[in-house]
Amino acid sequence: MTVPSQHPLLLLQDIERRSKVHAFELPQQLDVRTTWDGVGFRLGNLQLVAAVDEVKEILPLPRITSVPGAQRWVKGVANIRGTLLPVMDLQGFVQDSVTLPGRRSRILVVRHKGISAGLLVDEVLGLKHFYEEEYGSDGGEGESAYARYLRGVYRQDGESWPVFSMAALVDSPEFMQVAA
């Protein structure tokens, strides 16, 4: 097939015209909003959220073997895939009360600075996503027993989600004193 000879400028103009006819519009620039992801959980009537990277695993309530001579908030140890995991009652530790395990109870597995622990909570409320502008540094539960472990609060759809720091919990000297 032979191409009719055209002046190069006319050929380029024709290519440009045809390209514009078949061109797609550029996509609209959308506002990108930064999100923070956490694991929502409940202790009694209090709903909290922990950073998703601070919770390594969520387990159904395993069989727990009690440990004699331990604090009353130490539930015991559980064999998780061949590894012994200490299990602590989170509400029992913070508020010196006892959590009665129920059908919705779960264990949040945390690992921080080489320390692993399972934390008994009343319920896991799922993965929560918040926008940066929903964050406030006021803590939400200022005078509660949980205040020393809270790192701000997210407010979304009329609900407050205080941010519970698993790192602050494991770093606290009291948490490491498991012997009664």
pLDDT at 96 over 60: yes
Question: Please, what are the domains in the chain?
Answer: 50-176 (2.40.50.180)
pLDDT of residue 76: 95
- Which amino acid is it at 120? L
> Which long-range contacts does 75-81 make (Cβ < 8 Å, 24+ apart)?
75/120, 78/107, 78/118, 80/109, 80/118
Task: Check residues 29 and 143 and name the one with the higher pLDDT.
Answer: 29
pLDDT at 110 over 90: yes
pLDDT of residue 5: 64
pLDDT at 41 over 60: yes
pLDDT of residue 27: 73
> How does residue 32 score in pLDDT terms, banded at 50, 70 and 90?
confident
Q: What is the pTM of this model?
A: 0.79
Q: Secondary structure of 94-160 in the HEC alphabet? A: HHCCCCCCCCCCEEEEEEECCEEEEEEECEEEEEEEEEHHHEECCCCCCCCCCHHHEEEEEEECCEE
Mean pLDDT to the nearest integer, 119-143: 86
Mean pLDDT to the nearest integer, 20-39: 81
pLDDT of residue 1: 44
> How does residue 141 score in pLDDT terms, banded at 50, 70 and 90?
low
CB of 135 closer than 8 Å to CB of 154: yes
Task: Give Cα 150 distance to the centre of its chain.
Answer: 14
pLDDT at 57 over 60: yes
Question: Percent of the chain at pLDDT above 70?
Answer: 93
pLDDT at 159 over 60: yes
Q: Which residues contact 2 (CB under 8 A, 6 or more apart)?
A: none
pLDDT of residue 172: 93
Q: Which residues contact 180 (CB under 8 A, 6 or more apart)?
A: 69, 70, 71, 72
Q: Residue 69 gets which letter from DSSP? A: T
pLDDT in tens, 4-18: 566 777 878 888 888
pLDDT of residue 31: 73
pLDDT of residue 18: 84
